[in-house]
Amino acid sequence: MSHGDETTIDADEPLDVGMLGYRFMGKAHSNALARLPMFFPDAPEVRRHTLIGRDEDALAEAADRFGFERTSTDWREVVDEVDAFYNLGPNHLHVEPSKAALEAGTHVLCEKPLAPTLEGAGELRDAAAASDAVAGCAFNYRFVPAIRYAKRLIDDGSLGEIRHVSGRYYQDWLSDPEAPWAWRMDEELAGSGALGDVGAHTLDLIGFLVNDHTGGIERLSGHLTTFTEERPVPGGDERRPVTVDDAYSAQAEFENGAMGTFEASRVAEGHKNDHSIGIHGTDGSIRFSLERMNELEVMAGDARGYETVLVTDESDPYVEAWWPPGHVLGWEHTFVHENYEFLTAVAEGGEFSPSFGEAYEVQRLLDAVQRSDESGEWVEV
């Protein structure tokens, strides 16, 4: 249990988890907590302590389904009563509760992006640096086995010097101009639209894979577009303005001279959750698509073209815990891996990556894209 500025964990007691949010991400992380003891027997024991939300009836129903012992409508009552605080709320709720938890010595896993603004992300980075608690940002795609395999190839030098990287994230859930308004379409609540919502995943993943070899992005040119200026509010005749982007694109220059091209859209008709990356070096290339997340396309060595590698062998990252080779994993498994790493770091006093410091670097890129769009010029990151 956490008390004051000290963070102490009793190895003989389960870790108490408090969770803010019980919808999309709440369901994903709760499922992961339930799966952990079955497939990762060395994972720390966890007690789903308190589920936090605003609607008492919906909260009670969710707590029953997700296996939480208690509910609360005020996160302030919870952050210093649990060992780990999961902040899965809307972006504008990331800063204050996460900061309060860290100041109480409570470990924090916060959904991405770290904050709606660079200033808010900086507050959380500094709070994490001042705390002994583990502070992690939930970029779950780092925990796809094929991505870990790709990183190993890059780190081993199989691709040679990195010359070009690309990433795109296409969705179509806002293609219909009559799709209802939600908090993700408000700049004050979300910070940005497609850029921060899904583009952040791409920028984090590219950094995770190549920053050690390229030095990271040095400058970029960004462009944001909003195609539908207002949307209907559910349950009435009201329409509200859309104050974030529907799509973004960016060109980037890395410190080693490599170039990058990135884009994301929530209005790309025909694409449900199409997250793709490509990394090209002097000696080889890799391609990955989330829609075929168990596969990695690799061209290296004397190969004349791409080979599709099915990353499901027992020797592949995390796969030994699951099924026999060839029995593929799904999107939900990334959260199991993420929770395993985070909770192990909490229990053992270790480090978790991506940290708040790493998430702040992603926020710097998001901010740079927005600044570039406003100025119409290339900007330094």
d(CA 130, CA 112): 21
Q: What is the pLDDT of residues 19-34, one digit of tens each?
A: 999 999 999 999 999 9
| pLDDT for the residue numbered 3 | 46
Can you list the pairs that 300-308 forms with residues at least 24 positions away whose Cβ atoms lie under 8 Å?
300/153, 300/158, 300/159, 301/158
d(CA 41, CA 48): 17
Can you list the pairs that 89-95 forms with residues at least 24 positions away whose Cβ atoms lie under 8 Å?
89/20, 89/21, 90/183, 90/184, 90/189, 90/190, 91/115, 91/116, 91/189, 91/190, 91/191, 91/196, 92/116, 92/183, 92/188, 92/189, 92/190, 92/191, 93/20, 94/120, 94/124, 95/120, 95/123, 95/124
End-to-end C-alpha distance for the chain, whole angstroms: 39
The domains of the chain, with CATH numbers, are: 2-141 (3.40.50.720), 145-292+294-329+355-380 (3.30.360.10)
| pLDDT for the residue numbered 236 | 86
pLDDT tens for each residue of the chain, 381 residues long: 544 445 556 667 999 999 999 999 999 999 999 999 999 999 999 999 999 999 999 999 999 999 999 999 999 999 999 999 999 999 999 999 999 999 999 999 999 999 999 999 999 999 999 999 999 999 999 999 999 999 999 999 999 999 999 999 999 999 999 999 999 999 999 999 999 999 999 999 999 999 999 999 999 999 999 999 999 999 889 999 999 999 999 999 999 999 999 999 999 999 999 999 999 999 999 999 999 999 999 999 888 899 999 999 999 999 999 999 999 999 999 999 999 999 999 999 999 999 999 999 999 999 999 999 999 999 999
d(CA 360, CA 118): 7
Among 234, 230, 238, 120, CA closest to 185 = 230
Q: What is the pLDDT of residues 294-351, one digit of tens each?
A: 999 999 988 889 999 999 999 999 999 999 999 999 999 999 999 999 999 999 999 9
With DSSP H G I counted as helix, E B as strand and the rest as coil, what are the percentages for the chain, rounded to 5? 35, 25, 35
Q: DSSP labels for 233-291?
A: PTTSS-EEE--S-SEEEEEEEETTS-EEEEEEES--TT-SSEEEEEEEESSEEEEEEGG
Could you give the angle at which helices 24-39 and 331-348 cross, rounded to 10 degrees? 70
User: Per DSSP, what are the bridge partners of residue 298?
Assistant: 286, 307
Global pTM reads: 0.95
| pLDDT for the residue numbered 1 | 52
Ramachandran region, residue 257 (left: φ > 0; alpha: ψ -120 to 50; beta: rest) = left
